[in-house]
Structure 1
């Protein structure tokens, strides 16, 4: 969710909204070259006992990549491609660090990559994604395919 949108009153984002009761509630920090989040997930996100579901791992990475894309250019975008590779299971009740950065940008899309690491630096998963930019021109062309409330929120988030 773009930081210009008040996440406490507007967003129900699964990845970052602080009040979504079933969401990940990731707190994402920007450091100038990318985004980082430190987090720990519980049993609500398991696939097998003690192991976080792979789709949830992908959701963490998708959120971090999307945040890196937005914060690098202050334009909203949607995921058009996401490739995740898993190195080891993510365990419940363990602290992890996720990191993402933009790797390439053109006028209509942005590529980003990210990773999740254990406290001792071990690799859990890596992801590469392509994000289609939702510029004002793209929103103008969307016509009736998007709800007006969504278009208004996206236009507002694209403002500095």
Structure 2
């Protein structure tokens, strides 16, 4: 059985330096709204691409897991479209579909409140086990 200590960098409430993002999820979809602070920037005034990648990955996994499985990421392809500034509110969304017995494919994207696309991703998730 896969376990969590609630210490995930993206969603864990116990991680003192984590993002603590709260994802709503169900029926193959996930959604979160958040504001990132300057502690997560790379270049001055731009949130680091690794943070954006982590958010897209997490959204895909939440969407995949909402289909009734525990999954891990096998592949993540990201396209960065526009920068996001610290203190700018963003929306992260993902949709997942069960493709094969051990594979879920998901797509995720991040937009700002004006609807500008920040980044998008395609993910392949390996099913580790069915949830109880």
TM > 0.5 between the two?
yes
Picking from 111, 129, 133, the partner of 2:123 is: 129
Cα distance in 2 for residues equivalent to 1:78 and 1:32: 18
- The runs of 5 or more residues in structure 2 that have no matched partner are none
- For the Cα contact (< 8 Å) 1:33–1:101, is it kept in 2? yes
Give the strand-richer structure, 1 or 2: 2
Picking from 47, 51, 60, the partner of 1:56 is: 51
Paired residue secondary structure (1:48): coil
Picking from 14, 21, 38, the partner of 1:26 is: 21
Give the helix-richer structure, 1 or 2: 1
Q: How does 1:46-85 map to 2 (within 5 A)?
A: 46-72=41-67, 74-85=68-79
Which residue does 1:154 correspond to in 2? none
The count of aligned residue pairs is 131
State the shift of 1:33 in Å.
Answer: 5.0
Paired residue secondary structure (2:82): coil
Which residue does 1:42 correspond to in 2? 37
The list of structure 1 runs, each at least 4 consecutive aligned residues, that deviate by more than 3 angstroms after superposition, is none
Root mean square deviation of aligned Cα: 1.7
Alignment of 1:110 onto 2:104: yes
Paired residue secondary structure (1:44): helix
Structure scoring higher RCO (CA < 8 A, sep ≥ 6) equals: 2
Larger Rg: 1
Cα distance in 1 for residues equivalent to 2:47 and 2:126: 28
